Structures are given as structure tokens and as C-alpha cells.
């Protein structure tokens, strides 16, 4: 069933209108009167609707009932990834959204090669948020994950440490497994931290450990920077009973 | 440490030579006399070597000792993916190799949009095998996963059914989780089957079930065809104790 995110929808609305990009998308799908569609507020509520009118650039809908979205995971997982080449971070935004991340955050660290300046960052964030919205729509999410960028490694650590299960994945860690960290749960929130192309420096890992974060391996194979967060997120969702 | 796959290496070899693509790669890395490198036979054995001579197009090595590769997972996982657009399957080959797949197999099914003919398939297989070799080298694998294509959906089911844990992931399955299938283990081999862009037809799922395969969900979010196999493989490696 077609699914649209609409920002301005209230629980009391009986009628809705799809405009702009949503209407263009509806046109591609050739929606007709009487067809059922789902409208989502992007905050966890779905509205089951029926198309009542299709005219130039506007699709009118009648709301039939509302429900909490059934596709949101129980665990709130934030994916923190060191600034990497744009295409890699964009790949992670799309896939992490599909896999159920609640938030996707870029942060600077010592071996980052591609740290955008303030001006280009604002533009990038806008673009990144659109990628998340589009992936949320396609994968049937009930919420659009927030995409953010933090100003420093320290700010990232501080924020991540507030999660019930904060984990920094380090390629030189051999002994401590993600399983051992997860088995201390159940947890309601997790922070999954992975590095940029060049990985983390030992000093950064020590900083994280000093703050009480779990330092874990993702196995004995070296994962690319865009593979590691998605591997960790898949494993977390599996362990949390999502599939 | 630099890592090279060499086909013609025997346990008794005391000296090795890197030629062709390996030598070109060594040149990029600016390898010098006395540097340590790892040579792998792609079948699970690593040879620790030291560079003894660098001359035009040839790198001479002295073998110091041999060891079983430490980066191979204990579980042999084959990823079966319905023929999809070329870039998606190539993405899966690269990432599944990093994540530890032992074999990556394409197969036809009813909703496949892109099934290559015999002639182009031979060329594609050659290209796909190179992608696997390159990803194996980068991720420090001890084996290069075999990339193959099967002639029919039935042939795929028959082969997959021979694994200790054969699972077909179906987006319309809601109740049966991958966790419940995995918890019946431990298993030494697994077959992870996912569909093409359009997913599986109900009849195909029934065929798989009749052969005794597990039909499982990957969660309530709709994963793209290139995300699903990597999500399943990550979860399997996690559950098998790899990280």
C-alpha cells in the first residue's frame, strides 16, 4: 500500500490533502478514487485513508482510522559515524533508516578525511534528512530518523554515554564481543559508534572507555566504514527480538 | 599489513613472487625490502612473508611461517539472492564477503527483472568473482567466497535445503522469526535466501516450505533487496558468536 509522510496532520483530522512532492509521487503511482493509502505523521502514527478525489496537483483523502505505526522497533538505536566521504554516509543514512535506526549522527574525529565546513554542513543536513525521509517512506517506517552532526568527538561521546547501551566498535579490539555487551540487557536505547575510513586512534578509544562506553569487536574481518554501522545495527535489532 | 592472494602457493614454498595485479598493488603500497606482508592462498592458509627484492613488475618474498587464517567464521554461510539489477548484486557480493559469507549465489525466480543470458552470465561471473576477491583481500579474509549462478529456483531450493539451517526470508511472514530458527542450533552451515526487487511470490514460498526450509521474517520494516541479505548475514554472524 502507498505510504506518504505528511507533517501537518492532527488526530482529529477527517480529511487530508496530498500536495507537492507527495502529489507528484501519487501521480507516478496512478492513485485512483477509492484506493486505500496510508498517511504517516512521521512521529509514530499512521492514518488509514481512502482517495476521494484526484485533481491537478492535489489528492484528497478521507481518514478512516488512526493507529500507532507497527513498524517501529522497540529499541531506540542511534548510529554515530565518523565523518566519511559523502556517498558512504548517505548510504548509511538510507540503510540505517530501513534497518530501524531512530537517529543517525555524524561526528568529527582525528582520522576524518572529509569534514564539511559550517556552510556546506547546513546544506548537507538538509539533503541527508531528505534521504532519511525517502528511505522511511519506502521501508514503511512510522518515524523519520533525525539526521544530525555534532561539533566534536567529545560532544558525541557525552551524548552517546547517555544511552543505556553505548558501544564503540574498534577494529583492534579482539576480546570483548558485542554479544557480551548486549547480554547485560535488555536495553531501551543504544548508541552504536563506528569510525571513518581510517578508523579510530587508540587515544580516542581510551577516551570512550574512560566515560564508561563498551569497546567491542565486530569480528575478525575488517569492515569498511559504511559496512560496520549497518552490521552492528542489524545485529542489535536481531538481538532485541525484531526478527 | 598488506595482504595478497596468490593461487599457486604450496606449504613447502620458501620463496614467493608477486606478479601482475599483485605486483601493481604492491607498487601502489610502495613496499620496500624488509617489509612484512601476508600472502594468502585463498583457501584458508596465510603465509607470513618478508619482502626480499623489488624490481620492475616483480616482488620477491621470503616465507617465514604459515598459519591457518584467523579471520574465517566458524559457520559456512551461503547467501542466495534472486537475480537483481547488476549494481545491487555487486554491492551484496562486496559486503557479504566482508561480513564472512562463504558463497554468494544468484538464482532466477518469477519476479526477477534482470536475468542475464548464458553468454553475458559467463562474463558477469568472472567480474563478480573479481569483486569477491578484492573484497576478501581488503577485509583480510582467508578464503575468497565463490560466486555462482543457478539455472532455476528449484535448483536453488534443492541446494539450499542441504544446509543445516536453510532460511527463506519473506516479507509477508510475520510470526516466525529468524531468532526462533537459529535457536534450534548450533549449526555449521546456513543458507540465507532473499528475493529480487519485487520479492517472492506466495507459490515460491510454499515450494520452499514444502522442502522443509524455514520461512522467516526480517522484521516489520520493508528492506530493499540489497539490504535484506546483509542484514540476515550480520545477524547470523552475531548469533554464531563471531562478534
Cα–Cα distance between B85 and B74 in angstroms, integer? 31
| A97 and A166 in a common domain | yes
Average per-residue pLDDT for chain A: 95
Provide the domain limits for residue A189. Answer: 76-239
- Contact assessment for residue B169 and residue B232, using Cβ atoms and an 8 Å cutoff: yes
- The radius of gyration of chain B from alpha carbons, rounded to an integer in Å, stands at 20
| B60 and B83 in a common domain | no
- How far, CA to CA in Å, does B38 sit from each of B29, B76, B138, B159? 13, 23, 12, 34
Q: Which residues of chain A lie closer than 8 angstroms to B141, CB-CB? A: 221
Q: Which residues of chain B lie closer than 8 angstroms to A172, CB-CB? A: none
The interface residues of chain B toward chain A in range 30-69, judged by CB-CB distance below 8 A, are none
| A156 and A50 in a common domain | no
| B24 and B127 in a common domain | no
Q: What is the CATH number of the domain that holds B64?
A: 2.40.240.20
- Among A23, A38, A68, the domain-final residue is A68
Confidence check: pLDDT of A187 > 80? yes
Q: Which residues of chain B lie closer than 8 angstroms to A99, CB-CB? A: 221, 223, 227, 231
A154-166 average pLDDT score = 98
| A140 and A87 in a common domain | yes
Residue B212 confidence (pLDDT): 97
| A84 and A58 in a common domain | no
Q: Which residues of chain B lie closer than 8 angstroms to A240, CB-CB? A: none
Q: Note whether A176 contacts B: Cβ–Cβ < 8 A.
A: no
| B166 and B81 in a common domain | yes
Question: Which of B73, B95, B238 faces A227 most closely, judged by CB atoms?
Answer: B95
- Least confident piece of the model among A43-57, A215-229, B226-240: A43-57
Q: What is the pLDDT of residues B46-65, one digit of tens each?
A: 999 999 999 878 999 999 99
Q: What is the pLDDT of residues B167-223, one digit of tens each?
A: 999 999 999 999 999 999 999 999 999 999 999 999 999 999 999 999 999 999 999
> How many CB atoms neighbour CB A70 within 10 A?
11
Q: What is the CATH number of the domain that holds A131?
A: 3.40.1280.10
| B187 and B127 in a common domain | yes
| B41 and B161 in a common domain | no
Transcribe A106-138 into DSSP letters.
EE--TT-S----HHHHHHHHHHHHHHHHHHHHH
- Among B68, B85, B108, the domain-final residue is B68
Residue A203 confidence (pLDDT): 98
| A146 and A51 in a common domain | no
| Chain-chain contact of B224 with A71 (C-beta, under 8 angstroms) | no
Confidence check: pLDDT of A114 > 80? no
Amino acid at each position: 500500500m502507498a505510504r506518504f509522510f505528511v507533517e501537518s496532520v492532527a488526530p482529529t483530522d477527517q480529511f487530508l490533502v496530498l500536495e507537492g512532492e507527495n502529489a507528484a509521487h501519487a501521480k507516478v503511482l496512478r492513485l485512483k478514487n477509492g484506493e486505500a493509502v496510508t498517511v504517516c505523521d512521521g512521529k509514530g502514527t499512521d492514518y488509514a485513508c481512502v482517495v476521494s478525489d484526484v485533481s491537478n496537483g492535489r489528492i484528497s483523502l478521507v481518514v478512516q482510522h488512526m493507529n500507532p505505526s507497527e513498524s517501529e522497533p522497540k529499541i531506540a538505536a542511534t548510529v554515530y559515524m565518523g565523518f566519511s566521504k559523502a556517498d558512504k554516509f548517505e548510504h548509511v543514512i538510507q540503510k540505517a533508516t530501513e534497518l530501524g535506526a531512530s537517529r543517525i549522527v555524524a561526528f568529527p574525529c582525528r582520522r576524518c578525511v572529509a569534514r564539511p565546513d559550517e556552510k556546506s554542513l547546513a546544506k548537507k543536513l538538509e539533503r541527508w534528512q531528505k534521504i532519511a525521509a525517502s528511505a522511511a517512506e519506502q521501508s514503511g517506517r512510522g518515524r523519520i530518523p533525525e539526521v544530525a552532526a555534532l561539533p566534536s568527538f567529545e560532544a558525541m561521546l557525552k551524548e552517546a554515554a547517555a544511552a543505556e547501551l553505548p558501544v564503540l566498535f574498534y577494529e583492534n579490539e579482539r576480546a570483548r564481543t558485542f554479544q557480551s555487551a548486549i547480554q547485560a540487557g535488555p536495553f531501551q536505547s543504544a548508541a552504536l559508534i563506528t569510525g571513518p575510513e581510517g578508523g579510530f586512534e587508540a587515544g580516542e578509544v581510551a577516551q570512550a572507555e574512560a566515560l564508561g562506553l563498551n569497546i567491542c569487536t565486530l569480528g575478525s574481518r575488517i569492515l569498511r566504514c559504511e559496512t560496520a554501522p549497518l552490521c552492528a545495527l542489524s545485529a542489535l535489532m536481531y538481538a532485541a527480538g525484531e526478527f
